Structure 1
Amino acid sequence: MEKEEKVMVLLLFMTLTSLVTAYLCFGPELTASGQEAGKEAKPYTRESGEGEKVFLEAQVLSKRLTYTGEHLLLQVDHNSEVLSVFIPKTAGAESFNNSIQKGDIISVTGTVSEYEGKREIKVERNEDILLIDRQ
């Protein structure tokens, strides 16, 4: 190889090494759960504010599809507080309607919001709900 070819190979190797290093250092933080860095979910409490990303484990009290049939609404019991969990069609409402039953314990990650004066957790992705225990 000539001198220019060796320099080019060395520059390509250095570039590739820099990209791999950057991905290993920052990639998992930016791509974990599809969230931006600094937007990790916090445990849900009664003091959680609107717009806050939270997670919780709760027992399913009831479920129903919305009148249009495209979204799923769950009523869950979390530490003696009844909350609504809104699962839009785009987050897998239909598949959860078939797999989640009354009495199941689920783990939910979502954003706190208010709908018609009541607090609810809005799920964004189907990975944000996990079945923990079947009753």
Structure 2
Amino acid sequence: MEKEEKVMVMLLFMTLSSLMTAYLCFGSELADSGQKSGGEARQYTRESNEGGKVFLEAEVLSKRFTYTGEHLLLQVNCNSEVLSVFIPKAAGAEALNMSIREGDLIGLTGTVSEYEGKREIKVERKEDVVLDNRHQ
């Protein structure tokens, strides 16, 4: 091998060694970072952290579209706590509006956030909202 090739091989080896060391030392933290919407969803509780992915089962108390943007807002009763559920237009708000009625029991997965000082769950895809057919 020529000198330049040896230098290149040595640099590649050092890079791979650094990456392996970082993975072994910080693997789980690095793997979880930047995955706000990914990962395991946990059962929603009042203590669920903002930004956490949660799932819950709740009764629909009311529904309406936002004044601008055609996003769907649900008010749901989850274990005696009234929560807002925000379903963006891009997440299938129109289709979900057609299938959800007040009084329906739904299961949903979303991200805990805060809007105007109140806790809400933001749904990312229409598949994250499931009607409980036992109550229809």
The TM-score normalised by the length of structure 1 is 0.70
Aligned to 1:87: 87
Distance 1:55 1:122 in 2: 11
1:1-135 equivalences under 5 Å are: 36=38, 39-68=39-68, 70-133=70-133, 134-135=135-136
CA apart distance, 1:48:
0.0
Distance 2:116 2:64 in 1: 17
Distance 2:69 2:124 in 1: 18
Distance 2:58 2:69 in 1: 24
**Letter matched to residue 56 of structure 1:** L
Gaps in structure 1 of 5+ consecutive residues: 1-34
Distance 1:132 1:91 in 2: 19
CA apart distance, 1:69:
5.1
Distance 2:88 2:69 in 1: 10
Distance 1:103 1:67 in 2: 23
* Poorly superposed stretches of 4+, deviation over 6 Å: none
Aligned to 1:7: none
CA apart distance, 1:70:
1.2
Root mean square deviation, CA, Å:
1.3
Distance 1:52 1:81 in 2: 18
The TM-score normalised by the length of structure 2 is 0.70
Q: Percent identity?
A: 74
Equivalenced residues, count: 99
